Amino acid sequence: MGKATREAYGTALVKVGATHKDVVVLDADLSKSTKTDEFKKAYPERFFNVGIAEQNLISVGAGLAAAGKVPFVSSFAMFATGRAFEQVRNAVCYPKLNVKVCATHAGITVGEDGATHQSLEDISCMRTLPNMTVVVPADAAETEAVIAWAAEYHGPVYVRLGRAGVEDVTSEGYTFVPGKSQQLRDGKDATIIACGALVGPAVEAAATLEAEGISVRVINMASIKPIDGEAIVKAAKETGLLITAEEHNVIGGLGSAVAEVVVKEYPVPMEFVGVKDTFGESGTPKELMAKYGLTAADIVAATKRGIARK
C-alpha cells in the first residue's frame, strides 16, 4: 500500500510554493490532518489559518484570488463542499476566481470518524457547478502532478484527496491533463473506469478476471470534469461493457458522469460500483470498503454481471 493522497498533497504544496511565489495556502484549523502544515513550515508568511470557519475559508481565498494570489484552500471534504457550498458557488465559481479547493478525508475510508465526516456526495456537488474543474487523483504521484497543474491553471479547481493509503498505479513521468484519462490495462471483454481509491482495486480486479479468461481494460478517470468522452466512447465501442468504480455515492459521481456520455453517444450495458445511496458508519477503512461493496472482489462480481447482460 502506498501513501495517502493527502500526504502527497502536502509534499506537492511545498514544491509549487518554491517556484510560484504567488501561491498561498489557507486552512480551517486542520493543517496537521490536511498536511498543509508542511507548507506552513516552509513558507509561514504565505500560510493562513482562518480557524474552524469553512465558509470564511472559501471567502478569504476568493478575496486573495481577486487580489492576484493563487490560493490553495483546504479542509475535510465534508466541510469544504458541504458547509461552504454557497461560498464555493457564489464567491468562487460564479466570478470564476482562481481558487483551488483541495479537500482531504473524502469518502468512506475516513473510517472511524463515521458517517458525519464521510463525504460521499462531494463529487456530485462540485461537478454541477459551472466553471469548476473536478479532479480525483488515484495515488501520490498523480496527486503531485495534479497540484503542479493546478498551480499553473487559472480558474476554480476541486481536488478530492483521501486519508488512507492507496496503491501506486501512476507510471513514471506522468503529466496530468484535464479531460484526459490514463489507460492502465487493455482488454476486449469489458472496461473498468475508476477514480481515486478504487483505481488500485480496479487493476487488481482486472488481473483476477484475466486469470479466468476475461480480458478487461482499465481506465483511470482522474479528471471527472471535464471528462474524457473520447476514451469512454472508444471503450464502449471496443468492449461493449462499462463498469465504473468510485468511493462515492453511485448517484451523481463518476458513474453518472460516464453514463451521461454513454447514453448520448453510444449506449452499452453499465454496472456501477460505489456506495449505494446510503450513509456510512464508523469502522476501519478495510472493513468499510468490504461492507459497502468497494473491493476488487466487488468489481469482479460487477464485471461478471455486466458480461451476462451483453
Which residues are tagged catalytic? 54
CA-CA distance, 262 to 55, in Å (whole number)? Answer: 36
In this structure, are residues 103 and 185 in contact, taking their beta carbons and an 8 Å threshold?
Answer: no
In this structure, are residues 55 and 86 in contact, taking their beta carbons and an 8 Å threshold?
Answer: yes
Q: How far is CA 75 from CA 8, 101, 165, 236, in A?
A: 15, 8, 18, 37
Compute the CA torsion angle 169, 205, 263, 260 (nearest 10 deg): -40
CA-CA distance, 224 to 11, in Å (whole number)? Answer: 23
CA-CA distance, 279 to 190, in Å (whole number)? Answer: 30
CA-CA distance, 126 to 91, in Å (whole number)? Answer: 14
From the centroid of its chain, how far is CA 32? 20
DSSP-assigned letter for residue 45: G
